[in-house]
Amino acid sequence: MKKNYVIVLMLLSACAIIAIACSKGSDDPPADPCSGVTVAVSGTPTNPSTPGGTNGSINATASGGTGLTYSLNNGTFQSSGNFTGLAAGNYTVTARTSAGCTGTQTFTLTSPTPSCSGVNIIVTATATPGGACSSSTTGSINASATGSTGITYSIDGASYQATGTFSNLAAGSYTVTAKDVNGCTGTTTVNIAAPVAGPLFSAVRTLIVNNCQSCHNNSIANGGMNWQVECNIITNKDRIKARAVDNNPSSMPPSGALAQADKDKITAWLNAGGRYSD
């Protein structure tokens, strides 16, 4: 009986040892599948063929695991390491195994230096002056270029644009630059002339200066009229006709009606359009 008791104790002790061992093993973290694994990425970069071009590529391969997939700049993984349609710049290719182990490599694509030898870009431009005292008081430039392709345009060093039309320009001199797809340029200078007063308006302006401006100027603006400002003459041409030509409701100037020859000058200007350029 004593012998059987000893055997039972021995069996219980063995089970306890096995239970402790099993319990201890269940608390250990799982082994890292990437421990000791090196995923090496290599590849062949191909630079864009033209300045600003987007036909560069990277053909990458990797070793160190199976089921490899590839990602460019943290993008979606794909089965191939071939990436196309790339511009100049820095790119990171990541290779990942089926176990999730990764490796990376950085590639640099460069843009070729443009060669403008033999390229002659000729720029022509026409200027349209603005009309003084009109709804279009600023001028414009319309430029075009020949001698290359992919032309864009800039005025006085501003950002390039697809067309050679520039508007809302004050009178003055401007430099228009045309640039092709390779960065080769051509320039021309164009001048927007200041608006020129027409002879009919000039005659009316002289009449008003001589007869009315003493009472309608920057300091004294009787009736709210300031004839020192040329555009006020155009804005108020109907009032000038009523007072100086029709004498309605009274003549202008107050000293007496204008001579018929002077009235005819105002009428001729109004019949021509009553503009600054008339």
Q: List domains and CATH numbers for the chain.
A: 40-109 (2.60.40.1080), 122-192 (2.60.40), 199-272 (no CATH)
Contact by Cβ (8 Å): 243, 225:
no
Amino acid in the structure at residue 189: T
pLDDT for residue 137: 65
Q: List the pLDDT tens digit at each of the 278 positions of the chain.
A: 445 544 444 544 544 444 444 444 456 677 888 998 999 999 999 999 887 889 999 999 999 999 999 999 999 999 999 999 999 999 999 999 999 999 999 999 998 876 788 899 999 999 988 877 766 668 899 999 999 999 999 999 999 999 999 999 988 999 999 999 888 999 999 999 888 888 998 888 898 888 888 788 788 878 888 888 888 888 888 988 888 888 888 777 777 788 899 889 989 989 999 888 88
What pLDDT does residue 243 have?
Answer: 86
Half-sphere exposure of 267 (CA within 13 A, CB side): 9
- E-assigned strands of the chain? 40-46, 56-63, 69-72, 82-86, 89-96, 102-109, 122-128, 139-146, 152-155, 165-169, 172-179, 185-192
Check residue 131 and give its pLDDT: 75
Contact indicator for 66, 87 with CB cutoff of 8 Å:
no
The pLDDT value recorded for residue 244 is 85
The confidence score (pLDDT) of residue 29 equals 72
H-helix or E-strand containing 210? helix 199-211
Q: Can you give the C-alpha Rg of the chain in angstroms? A: 43
Pairing relationship of beta strands 122-128 and 102-109 according to DSSP bridges: unpaired
Whether the CB-CB separation of 163 and 244 falls below 8 Å is answered with no
To the question of pTM greater than 0.85 for the whole model, the response is no
